[in-house]
Amino acid sequence: MQHQKLRTFLFIPGERKRDRFFRWFPWVWLAAAYGITMLVLCLHGRAYIDSDIAGDVMLANLLNRDGGMLSAGWWYSSELRVVYLQVLYRLALLVFPRDWYAAQMLGQAGWLLLLIVSYLYVAHGLALKNCGVWGAAALACPFGTWYLWYGPFGGAYLPHIILILLSFGAMLHLLRPASVLRRVLQWLLLVGTAVASGLNGVKGLMGFYLPMAAAMVVAVVLRWHEEPRQPPRKTLHLLALSCAATAVAGSGYVLYSKVLANLYSFEDYNSRSWSGLDLSGLLSQWGEFLSLFGYPTKSALKAAPRLFSVEGILGAFGVLTAGAIVFSLVRLLLRWQKLRPEQRIIPLLFASIGLIDGMIFACTEDVAPIDARYWLTVVPFAFLLLQLEGETESFRPAFMRRAAAIAFCVCITATSISSVRLFFQNGMRINPHLETVCDWLVEEGYTQGYATFWNGNVLTEWSSGALEMWVVSDLNTLDLSQGLQEMAHREAPQGEVFLLTTREELEIYGLSALENTSKVVYVDEQEKAPSPYGHYLVMTFPDAQAMETAIAAAHPGAG
């Protein structure tokens, strides 16, 4: 029976070979993109993780050891994120307990697969052809440096995106006739994902639920204006669903910010305040969003590529993708009345996201600046917009529709190649040489040490837990960094410890003399530092107290 269904799907009677090719092609692209992306990251990504990324694997290991979904013995970072990467990382660590990077990549493969399935679920609800597989294939590609870094590689935004897509998909499927059981499951999915999104912080509420509710209000007004004597039942139904989901997500966020904030240690975005009404800043934020689709932005790189380089030329295809997104939005808004009822929400939702998120990003301020990565939560809606335009536009001649699809594939593939090359050459916070130091420490049998944040957690993941690092925010005082670290580190380690730092870092803290007064067991002797962070040094001390004494003595003015 299943074999017959598969054959029916693959071979439609009377279908021309050209039509079959274009029906199969995006699925082949999706499978190839997913496989190649994960293969490249598995083979070449280990040296490029940073301490932020490593912190998620360390938390998963802690939760496996102590149990529970959350840990009161962990300093979280900017958000608590209840339903987050550790869910799959914990399972992956059971498969690869002695290779944490392999566990991370297995977890990332799972999260990326969930993203693809969630997108296909939404596209099915929108009645897009082949369940919107073209956009799903694009999401399997590392089409921009920000997306590569916080998507397939580091994964920081994938859970947020998945929860949003599942909520949206549940809303769309609740508009359709269904059995009682299926209806109950769809409601459970909607409520569950909305609560989980709220418990993960403000990203989902701000990025999707509020813009969705606002877009539906506009949709109801426009539909009622078109036909004042006939209530737009389906649009009103979707408005009710979006308002209900927003209320549920909001309640989850209240629980997150008022209850969980008192039980666990983390920062949030509640300190943001309104600044000036900056319309130029709004345009700048829209530009940041469009740059996500492959434009080689310097904000995600240590150095921007030259125009006439491989990366520069391939990255220019991102401008074409950005232009296609703007064109598609304009065309769909102009043809809004001709779209199917469930499809009309896409251009309105996309415009609502641009206005609401853009105003929040441009007209509020905090200690942490806003950059393009904050838009990653809503990137899939751009691909829904593009495919909806491609399917509903009147192309003349007719072959231009398929030509546009192939052009989309070419643009995404080109910017993916550019982004991967740029990330491995100039990505932010990447430091492959530090991996060399880590391997040396493990080979020499060291197990516990001190370092500043960007040199600390990453050693623990690379060594698969063999190196336990006490991460400090200040080398002079050895104050612990209260972010992505076990609170148990308030107790100093017993026995021999090492300090990993660089000459340049010692100079910043006024501790250059420490190299001459301590036992140095590793040093980069090259005249030119092999690492962009400087010349690495490893010094050993009999215990933590001896290290504190040596640091105090090395400070200018001591003794």
Q: How far is CA 274 from CA 153, 205, 522, in A?
A: 33, 18, 49
- Helix H or strand E encompassing 520: strand 519-523
Q: Contact at 8 Å (CB) between 392 and 357?
A: no
Q: Is residue 14 part of a domain?
A: no
CB 376 within 8 A of CB 157: yes
The residue out of 426, 443, 468 marking a domain boundary is: 426
Within a domain: 12:
no
Phi/psi for 114 (5° steps) reads -65, -35
Let me know if residue 25 belongs to a domain: no
DSSP string of 387-449, one letter each residue: HHHHHHS--SSTTHHHHHHHHHHHHHHHHHHHHHHHHHHHBTT--HHHHHHHHHHHHTT--EE
Per-residue pLDDT of the chain (559 residues; tens, 9 = 90+): 556 655 555 666 666 777 778 889 999 999 999 999 999 999 999 999 999 999 999 999 999 999 999 999 999 987 888 999 999 999 999 999 999 999 999 999 999 999 999 999 999 999 999 899 999 999 999 999 999 999 999 999 999 999 999 999 999 999 999 899 999 999 999 999 999 999 999 999 999 999 999 999 999 998 887 877 787 888 899 999 999 999 999 999 999 999 998 899 887 766 677 787 778 889 999 999 999 999 887 777 777 788 788 888 999 999 999 999 999 999 999 998 889 888 999 999 999 999 999 999 988 887 667 889 999 999 999 999 999 999 999 888 878 889 999 999 999 999 999 999 999 988 777 788 899 999 999 999 999 999 999 999 999 999 999 999 999 999 999 999 999 999 999 999 999 999 999 999 999 999 999 999 999 999 987 767 677 778 899 999 999 999 999 999 987 766 5
Q: Which residues touch 32 (CB under 8 Å, ≥6 apart)?
A: none
30, 446 Cβ separation under 8 angstroms: no
Tokens of 228: 């004042």
Domain with 531, as residue range(s), is 432-554
Inside any domain, residue 273: yes
């989902």: which residue's tokens?
A: 204
Same domain, 404 and 525: no
* Final residue in a domain of this structure, among 426, 444, 466: 426
d(CA 194, CA 277): 31
270 and 327 both lie in a single domain:
yes
Residues 305 and 419 in one domain: yes
User: Does a structural domain hold residue 168?
Assistant: yes
Q: 330 and 447 share a domain?
A: no
Number of domains the chain is built from: 2
Taking the model in full, what pTM does it have?
0.94
Number of H helices, E strands in the chain: 24, 10
Q: Are 362 and 466 part of one and the same domain? A: no
Closest CA to 165 of 234, 115, 96, 94: 115
Q: Are residues 410 and 481 in the same domain?
A: no
Same domain for 436 and 416: no
And the tokens for 104? 């991370």
What's residue 3's pLDDT?
61
User: Is position 10 within any domain?
Assistant: no
Do residue 421 and residue 466 come from a single domain? no
Query: Which of 426, 448, 471 lies at the terminal end of a domain, its last residue?
Result: 426
Are residues 115 and 190 located together in one domain of the fold? yes
Q: Are residues 396 and 466 in the same domain?
A: no
| 241 lies in the same domain as 359 | yes
DSSP 245-309: HHHHHHHHHHIIIIIIHHHSB---STT-EE----HHHHHHHHHHHHHTTS---GGGBSSPPPTTS
Is residue 79 a part of any domain in this protein? yes
The angle subtended at Cα 60 by Cα 58 and Cα 62, nearest 5°, is 70
Residue 481 in any domain: the answer is yes
Q: Are residues 82 and 227 in the same domain?
A: yes
